[in-house]
Structure 1
């Protein structure tokens, strides 16, 4: 018989072998402080290290109910989160990384807010981060652009840890989009939100996979999924380019009348070709990005494939 859970925590796992023992220990402490049973859903997202084997050894002896779900390959952290949210059985569902840079203890405040009935979504608001300076600068720039272009209401440091109720989770999971942002979808569906401030800790184990390339791809996916910014840029470029072309045409016409152009037709022809080519290439690139994403969504592929799933409803005493 399936146990009833009030609280679930989803943890995507990828190259986190070093932090898993400490993570499980801190989750045990959280489970003891909650007023109702806790389950933790670990989703091994094709991790190349021994994270899966470590969890297999740890979970039968932890002080909380657990699930260990394995993807057939690496599908990405957002796909892993979706898998975990779909597998979770709690009324309130928290999502956090396995690297311990976001304090797991935030879940206690998240669950308290959700259980009050006044909040549907609780997100962590980073007020400081113990990262190298270069990482802080690039992350700050990234999230400033994200807030300016996509979701101004998102915290300045972005969202890396959050929790929501079952209703919000169901709405997000119903949005089966490819090449999108799960956090973006979380904000897109709306509902009542609350922010909980915290300080991001330094990473003690492994290295982050949040590379510059990954940030750019995430930003572009969010731009194309949630805004019409590229089309607005295209319209702006067209207006500016058209205005410059008209101005150039007036100057060329005056020069031609004044006898300043010895080869009639050459200059205006080159201007038309240059502006037309630039505008067409830009337009094709932007429209092509939308067409490609539409094509990907028509495939209706799952965001991930579960290879195996292990469940333990019995929590052991520490």
Structure 2
């Protein structure tokens, strides 16, 4: 079900909002975005993607959007596929030249979209992300978030803001680049930084959640971090290769010690030396082989992602004839 007015070409800005368990706040999101629209130079649409929400979020939006003061689209997933999939769906149907992405819990102020769209339309950046300067979350949630994003920055990408990325905006070109990479079990934030382009950070203060309960559980955080590690780094293979090399060196050293001890008469147990040498040689071969095989597996996995080898931000042609 969609609601829109006028031609698609007139819509300049789109805001994508994934929805899950946000029945108590989606009406307020619409109201806040209506006010945002009054500060923009072009028409704004909001794209709500209800991701199999178990509450009345879809019903509330079906009641609110037909009479809202902004253009809108309402997409309902057949089940819960996750926020990354919901954002992809929203980006795929968004009609704006500039696209913003925000959550439906209002912890990130929708008014950030004004600054995002101003920077994007002025051509000063292709990607604008919100940099969290402060947060009003409970102490435990705040600690978990800082720990999670601290590990993410150390293992995945140190360029990501310390508080992570929960709200961002981008041009249509960047959105198309993200949509071209159809990877399962990946990281939207990781892909957003992988594609490159010119980035700008806008500071903001995260407010306390007043409606509903966050679905961003510890289990989901751990899974997201692991997906990011396996999608954007070679840490697992590097660790395996390092263990293989170190293990092979230790095994070789022990083998030399056993052989020297046998030759110098320090080992007189019958059959001990050949048995140990066979075991150590087999272990050496296995550990060395793990590192080699791991390197091939990593390269095969990288090719299976089908990511482009490069992303061009611009392409100009100049005629020498004037």
Measure how far apart 1:265 and its partner are.
3.8
Higher relative contact order (CA 8 A, sep 6+): 1
Residue 33 of structure 1 pairs with residue 39 of structure 2:
yes
Q: 1:258 to 1:201 in 2, by over 3 A?
A: farther
Distance 1:215 1:179, change over 3 A: same
Aligned with 1:14 (options 17, 20, 23): 20
Q: What residue ranges of structure 1 are gaps of 5+ in the alignment? A: 299-318
The answer (yes or no) to whether the contact 2:258–2:273 under 8 Å persists in 1 is no
- Measure how far apart 1:268 and its partner are: 4.5
- 1:253 corresponds to 2:262: no
Write the mapping of 1:147-186 to structure 2, written as runs, cut at 5 A.
Answer: 147-186=153-192
3-state SS of paired residue (2:205): strand
Match of 2:7 in 1: 2
Q: SS state of the match for residue 78, structure 1?
A: helix
Equivalents in 2 of 1:46, 1:283: separation in Å?
44
Normalising by structure 1, report the TM-score.
Answer: 0.83
Does residue 1:264 correspond to 2:273, yes or no? Answer: yes
Q: Following the alignment from structure 2 to structure 1, what is the Cα–Cα distance between the partners of residues 96 and 85?
A: 19
1:145 to 123, 140, 151: 151
Secondary structure at the aligned position of 1:85 is classed as helix
For 1:63-78, list aligned pairs within 5 A: 63-78=69-84
Question: Residues 285 and 50 from structure 1, CA distance in 2 versus in 1: closer, same or farther, beyond 3 angstroms?
Answer: farther
* Whole-angstrom distance in 1 between the partners of 2:177 and 2:96: 15
> Using the alignment, how far apart are the partners of 1:164 and 1:218 within structure 2?
22
CA contact (8 A) 1:43 1:81 kept: yes
Deviates more, 1:77-86 or 1:198-207: 198-207
1:18-97 equivalence runs, <5 A: 18-97=24-103
Contact 1:178–1:293 (CA under 8 A) maintained in structure 2: no
Three-state SS of the structure 2 residue aligned to 1:54 is helix
Q: Distance in 1 between matches of 2:298 and 2:212?
A: 34
Tell me the residue number matched to 2:213.
Answer: 207
Name 1:113's counterpart in structure 2.
119
Structure 1, 7-16 or 240-249: larger mean CA deviation: 240-249
For structure 2, the 5+ residue unaligned runs are: 1-5, 307-322
Does the residue aligned with 1:102 lie in a helix, a strand or coil?
coil
What is the CA distance between 1:288 and its match in structure 2? 7.2
SS of the counterpart of 2:97? strand
Quote the Cα distance in structure 2 between the aligned partners of 1:209 and 1:279.
43
Work out which of the residue numbers 222, 225, 231 in structure 1 matches 2:231. Answer: 225
| TM-score, normalised by the number of residues in structure 2 | 0.82
Distance in 2 between the 1:286 and 1:80 partners? 34
8 Å contact from structure 1 (residues 6, 36) kept in 2: yes
Report the equivalent of 1:133: 139
Distance apart, 1:226 and its partner CA: 2.0
1:235 CA drift (Å): 2.0
1:119–1:271 Cα change, 3 Å: same
Deviations 1:73-109 (A, max 9, x none): 1111011001101111111100001111111111111
Where does residue 313 of structure 2 map in the other structure?
none
CA distance in 1, matches of 2:289, 2:58: 50
Contact 1:143 1:157 in 2 (8 A): yes
- 1:190 and 2:196 aligned: yes
CA distance in structure 2 between the partners assigned to 1:5 and 1:211 by the alignment: 36
Q: Distance in 2 between matches of 1:126 and 1:44?
A: 26
Distance 1:150 1:247 in 2: 35
